[in-house]
Amino acid sequence: MSRLASIFADLRARKAKALMPFVCGAYPAPGVTAGVLAAMERAGASVVEVGYPFSDPIADGPVIAAAMHDALQRRATPAGVTGEIAAARAAGLKIGVVAMVSVSIVHRLGPEKYFASLKSAGVDGVILPDVVLEDAQAWIASARDAGLTVTLLVAPTTDVKRAEKIARSCSGFVYMLARAGITGESASIATDALRERVRLLRGVSDLPIAVGFGVSNAAQVRQIVHDCDADAAIVGSALVRRMCDAQAAGQDPILAAELFARELAKGLV
């Protein structure tokens, strides 16, 4: 059983839910990612998404896009981010780690070589946010050959038949978007519509369902995992923003991330 499968099986056995923070690799500076991952584990996260900095992210809103730009300006590299994940594993990190990475990076580095490097570093799976289902199978095969799970995104506008095809192409978990558009904080969650989307997806897939895009606080985490019955809540922009604010104020961004993640985790109960 893979680490992700084991994590979600344990959560289901305990009737518990997962917090899945998103962090930008090498942000706010190269060398901090291992510390951020350890902080997320201490705060109660079950799985962490590590976004690989990319110059032209298509789904990320201004907060995450700015963080990626800043990381690249500070000479962040895919190999460097992977090395920081490996350092976290070497230091004893137990939670799941999933790389969110543009297929442009994978193509440039070579799928077989790149996916093998992720697996060797202790990454459990990949999220491919900018690949459509019709073009995904070769990427999926390469990642699975390396021993990684593969997650694709299901948009709010995706019809049930297509959502079923996407879910059947996934392993590890399915990423359902809480809203259309780009990442960023939301004032509210459309729980009725989202609950129905989760229900429909459960009818065609046994995989855990993680919901992100717009989830910003503990109350919304609670709505996602309890009111809408998702298995995990993904929080990205709100977390990255707090790291950015702490850095700008001369404070510890890792501590800021940990304190906020602890607050988010209160929404799981």
Residue 90 binned pLDDT confidence (cut-offs 50, 70, 90): very high
Look at residue 61 in the predicted model and tell me its pLDDT: 79
What domain range is 178 assigned to? 3-268
State the CATH number of the domain containing residue 158. 3.20.20.70
Q: What percent of the chain has pLDDT over 90?
A: 87
Residues 209, 231: Cα–Cα separation, whole Å = 5
- Report whether pLDDT(184) > 80: no
Look at residue 56 in the predicted model and tell me its pLDDT: 80
Count Cβ neighbours within 10 Å for each residue of 30-58 and write b for 16 or more, e otherwise. bebbbbbbbbbbebbbbbbbbbbbbeebe
- Report whether pLDDT(31) > 90: yes
**Range 195-224 average pLDDT:** 94
What is the number of structural domains in the chain? 1
Structural contact between residues 183 and 60, judged by C-beta atoms closer than 8 angstroms? yes
Count other C-beta atoms under 10 Å from residue 206's C-beta. Answer: 6
Whether 135 sits among the annotated catalytic residues: the reply is no
Return the SS3 of 132: coil
* Residue 46 DSSP class: S
Q: Of these residues, 49, 70, 84, 258, which one is catalytic?
A: 49
Count Cβ neighbours within 10 Å for each residue of 82-92 and write b for 16 or more, e otherwise. bbbbbbbbeee
pLDDT digits (tens, 9 = 90+) for 215-251: 999 999 999 999 999 999 999 999 999 999 999 999 9
- Residue 110: partners with Cβ closer than 8 Å, 6 or more residues away: none
Return the SS3 of 101: coil
* C-alpha closest to that of 247 among 24, 51, 44: 24
Q: Of these residues, 41, 60, 124, 258, which one is catalytic?
A: 60
Whether 41 sits among the annotated catalytic residues: the reply is no
Please give the radius of gyration of the chain, using alpha carbons only, rounded to the nearest integer.
17
pLDDT digits (tens, 9 = 90+) for 131-157: 989 999 999 999 999 999 999 999 988
